Amino acid sequence: MTADPRAPGALTERWAIGLLRLPGGTQPYTVSLRDIESDTAWARRVFERLGLRPGLPLHLIGTGCDNEILWPYENALIGMKVPFGVAEPVAIDAPRSDMFLRRFRMQAVVGLSGEIVAALLALGRDLPALLGHSTIVALPDAVPALRAAGLAPWTMLPIGPIWAFESPVADGAHYDQNEWLVEEHGGELLITSLAARATPFVRLRTGVRGRIAVHGDERRVHAD
């Protein structure tokens, strides 16, 4: 008997059950091993775009309840041989992020939240000194404070079950168009799965306000 998730069996079809947090409620959904592998390939493309290099540390901030979304990014870092230290995106765990940022010269900090930034400022930290040498990828609520400190973060935009990434020049957020279609309806972003995912979504309301702009053959998200 084997428990290898690659082998035929239950885990291939139901690798994990996640909880999708949407406006007006949450809903459980299943991800398959195929979904994880596809998302890992996308995560690797994101990190290559960020210019990550093997062997240099990275600080990855994310929450355990998002493991089915987060793991492909961790999986990609392992495959790229990028060591990463982890923390949660909430104020109570800010001392952990503070420790990592003081004690390592991180090549990148991914998933920086507004709560963590506020907590670092409350500790009297100098954000440019902590983060100035790093590529920063921040949640939307952290971006204003980082820009006010003279930093130029990427934005990591959660849209339902996916994350989209926008460069510091704010030319629209990229998402995995092989797997998903993001549309706008009445100013709200809707998401549809295009691939054979374990839980298909059709025009799922995400509660994220924004619009879509077409750049050549690519659709990008501009959040409001």
Partner 1 sequence: MLELPATEQRYLEAVETLPRPQLLALQQRRLLAMVAYAYERSAFVRHHWDAVGLRPSDIRSTADFTRRVPLMDKDQMRAWRDTHADPFCGLLCTDPAEISFIGSSSGTTGDPTLFSYRWGHEDGNLPAGPGLPADGPSSYWGGTLRDWWEIGLRPGEYGVYFGLRMRGPMFRLLQALGLTPIMLGYGPDDLHHFVDLSRRYRPTVFYAMTAWLGVGLQEIERTMGIDMRDVFASYKGVLFAGEPVGPKMRRTFERWGLAGKIFNQTSFGDLGHAHDCREHDGCHAWEDIGVAEIIDPETGSPIEGNGRGELVCTSLVNAVDPLLRYRGGDIVDLQRGACECGRTHARFTPVGRSADEALIAGRSVLPMDVWGAIEDVPETASGLFQIVRPQRVLDRLKIRVGYGGTPELGPLRERVAESVHAAVGLVPEIELVPNEVIMQSGSRHKIPRTVKT
Q: Which residues bind partner 1 (CB under 8 A)?
A: 1-6, 9-11, 14-19, 21, 26, 28, 36-37, 40, 54-57, 62-68, 71, 74-79, 81, 83-88, 92-93, 95-96, 99-100, 103-104
CB of 78 to partner 1, least distance (A): 3
Residue closer to partner 1 (CB basis): 71 or 182: 71
Q: Cβ of 213: how many Cβ atoms within 10 Å?
A: 13
Q: Which of 202, 163, 61 is nearest to 119 (CA)?
A: 61
**Nearest-approach distance from CB 212 to partner 1, in angstroms:** 29
Provide, rounded to whole angstroms, the least separation between the CB of residue 111 and partner 1. 11
Nearest to 160 by CA among 26, 14, 15: 26
Of the pair 67, 177, the CB lying nearest partner 1 is at: 67
Cβ–Cβ < 8 Å for 182, 175: yes
Contact assessment for residue 148 and residue 121, using Cβ atoms and an 8 Å cutoff: no
Question: What is the three-class DSSP state of 101?
Answer: helix
140: which DSSP letter? G
Q: Which is nearer to partner 1, 101 or 151 (CB)?
A: 101
* Nearest distance from C-beta of residue 58 to partner 1, angstroms: 10
The three-state DSSP-derived secondary structure of 37-54 is HHHHHHHHHHHHHHCCCC
| Distance from the Cα of residue 14 to its chain's centroid | 22
Q: How far is the CB of 40 from partner 1 (least distance, A)?
A: 7
CB of 38 to partner 1, least distance (A): 13
Nearer of residues 75 and 177 to partner 1, judged by Cβ: 75
Smallest distance from partner 1 to CB 189, Å: 22
Of 22 and 181, CB closest to partner 1: 22
Q: Which is nearer to partner 1, 92 or 214 (CB)?
A: 92
β-pairing, 135-138 vs 154-159, is: parallel
C-alpha R_g of the chain: 18
Closest CB to partner 1 among residues 21, 222? 21
Burial 73-105 (b: 16+ CB within 10 A, else e): bbbbbeebebebbbbbbebebbebbbebbeeee
